[in-house]
Amino acid sequence: MTDAQLELSLGNPRVTSSPRANRRPPTFNSGWWFRRMRQIVDRAFDWQPAPPPRPEQIWFPGAHRRVSLNS
């Protein structure tokens, strides 16, 4: 598992008139992204499922008995 943070910053774009200069660096293309995601999935480990919750006593409306003491 990696503890490194994946960071994609916006940075300061360069102002140029060349269409080539406006392209993203080759490291941020879709191939790079999917390779990185595959690495993350390959390094992942299986989590154990959470244990079942403890039993909980609930009251159903109208299901309880009323006890009246008329002595």
Per-residue pLDDT tens listing for the chain (71 residues): 667 777 766 666 655 556 665 666 656 688 888 999 999 999 988 889 999 999 987 877 776 666 677 76
**Token duo for residue 5:** 């943070």
Rounded Cα gap, residues 31 and 42, in angstroms = 16
State CA 59 to chain mean position distance: 36
The per-residue DSSP string of 11-59 comes to: ------S-TTTTSPPGGGSHHHHHHHHHHHHHH--PPPPPPPPPP----
**Token duo for residue 13:** 């774009």
Q: Is the pTM of this model over 0.75?
A: no
